[in-house]
Structure 1
Amino acid sequence: MTEPSKVLHVRNVGYEITENDLLQLVQPFGVVTKSVMLRAKNQALIQMQDVGSAVNGEKCLHSVLFTSRTDYSGSEPSRAQPGFQALIQYQSHQSALSAIDALQGRNIYDGCCQLDIQFSNLSELQVNYNNERSRDFTNPALPSEQKGRSSQSGYGDAGSMYGLQPPGTRAVAFPQVCVDQAFLLAFLFQMGDAAAITAAFSGGLPPGISGTNDRCTVLVSNLNPDKFDEDKLFNLFSLYGNIVRIKLLRSKPDHALIQMGDGFQAELAVHFLKGALLFGKQLEVNFSKYPNITPAPDTHDYSNSNLNRFNRNAAKNYRYCCSPTKMVHLSTLPQEITDDDLVTHLEEHGTIVNTKIFEANGKKQALVLFETEEQAAEALVCKHATSIDGSIIRISFSQLQTI
């Protein structure tokens, strides 16, 4: 078996997946020193700063096939790409039928990874462990592995995890769909499937998020009315979903209604922003009693805004949802940007501790560390979608702790 190394070998990279997408994927695990896209083979090589970072990335990013090489030397890897299957049990027969109707024959990425979906011979799944190979989304209390046995079992022992339960253990037997592709979860994720969205959070949704909420509109209060407007609210809440409309309540200047794209996105916003400090105020974010915001002259409509982040690469955006942090990530920067340019553009919002500019897929990006989370949040809401030397920049919170 090849010893772990600093280089991750990524297979099945669709042509629409950019180098930047891959770098964003591995960013939480450490510093990337080199990356090479092997477009002819739909593969990529990503070299981390150290072996530990590469090992952590390989373990956590199990939805993508990684294999290690000793170091990047410019030679291309093997074309071998093993096939995989997955079993998915839906809550109802109709849901399984809908999945087959919608997804059979579809490609996960354009031109590759075609799905072959059919009903399984099993009528019910028995899942014993919640880990990278199996998960019961109705029972988050399951152990990750059997005592004394590693959860890194081979793909040939599926029967022990997906076996048929004894007759009579449930009143109703639900069908599941068998899918012949390793990227199933990522694809369903982009299709809006709740189970796949759950998988983005390491298989378990954050506490307090059900994944079944159908209320799309949230009420945010205790705003600083002298500092906030609709666009600043958009910049903040669009981190957690697409924004449909925003309305400031004129009778209560420190209140606003925000209609998200769906109930799950609204849940994320409530979870991650409740209690956030901004402009000297601690935000209160709750679900509104109103199901939606009626279009009106005093309502801002963002449904067609090209700044909505979840129209493309929804899976990646869900994956990086988090509460405000001290670190912000900037992208679509001008090629000639310097650290001094970053400081000049952002320093009015707080004390900048450190900055780092790097290049991914031929485009400049940066990390900026502020002294406090409130300062970073202020910089984000005020400077997202602003211009530096003609480039409209994008800002989001980074989960990295240090540069």
Structure 2
Amino acid sequence: MSIVIRKSLLELIFSGAFMKRWNDKLRPMELVEVDKQGHKMIVAWLLFLLNSRDMDVARKRALGEAIIEGGLYDYLYRLVITDIKPPVFYRIKENPDDYRTLSNWVLNSLKPRISPLGEDFMRRMEEYLNQPEDTGLARRILKAAHLYASYSEFKLLKSINTMDHELTEIEDSFIDRLEAMRDLTGVSELLDEDNNVLGLFARMCGRLRFQKRWSQTPRVPETSVLGHMFIVASYSWFFSMEVGACRARSQNNFFSGLFHDLPELLTRDIISPVKGASFEIGELIHEYEIRELDRVVLAPLKEGGYTDVADRLEYLLGLEVGSEFKATVCRNDRVLEASEEQLAGEYNQDTLDPKDGPLLKVSDALAAYIEAHTALRNGISSDQLHHALYRIRQKYNSRPVVAGIQISALLADFD
């Protein structure tokens, strides 16, 4: 069965931008599921790199794939069970029969929207949901990342919920469960985030939930840079499935999406018309981003003993070739540009560590399109939103197929 990504799946992934978290607590800002998932998968990536340092390439690829797919299964599951409070959900999980009944109901609810991904995807998701949570390294990494990201949110609202009787119990639960996972490399650093560069980096990435996209344009829902990065990463993974990308290429596409707007930690979300006002302005912004990225992120990681993490970030962000949206491969320890045709053909092999910049660009454009389209559908009338839709449509009407993706046909489904 051929895989064809459809509008319904893209909208399902985006729907996490509506899904409120901690909605029984006083909150300094709205906390939404898609932001938490972005932070979780960034931390999962860090733990993946650190805990696979001594693995051979094949085991490392398998672990990376299991972490990404497991993270997506968890996210899809949570989109359906959103209204079940965590303590109630954990009680359900304690009873295997009750949990299996709930999981089967979730899968049946999701089936109409995820069936285009193929029967194998459905089967793997069902197997994943019916396995114990602590089965295997990938599951433990995802659990640790989930706990860290949720605990990070809790600390945002802790100081303004001092009268809440559940507060101490919730915090103790987070700490106890994370303490029990100290055998995973990196968890100790996350628990002591104030005093080491890895913890500081993980916390810094979480701050991207504070940066709202389209900051001068009212929208419903508002989306953050952090949530947007997760949405783009998810689209990149599913499009990689559609075009038959090899294992390395698929993983690089997901993680590139997860970090593609990381420089906005340092520059904020600069809108495309400003970046594109002139070649000189675009180059000036890019030069500043790279300089600050090195000063604030890459250099501290290298100095703190995480050169492998910094080097991988450089590759995912396309720093060697000047843009994350260029297709690249690694040959003889050198990063080289590639064409879309080469990436789809002779370069589509794990040994070359390919990365699909044009596919990432399509995913980024689709995420922006759905943000604008959803806001308009929800009654927000704005010239900027209409112009964004028009600009994206025009761009892909003249080039309907990019990186093997029928982008113009997908956009037509939104009319």
Give me the TM-score of the superposition, normalised by structure 2. Answer: 0.28
The structure where helix makes up a greater share of residues is 2
Structure of greater Rg: 1
Greater relative contact order structure (CA < 8 Å, 6+ sep): 2
Give me the TM-score of the superposition, normalised by structure 1. Answer: 0.28
The structure where strand makes up a greater share of residues is 1
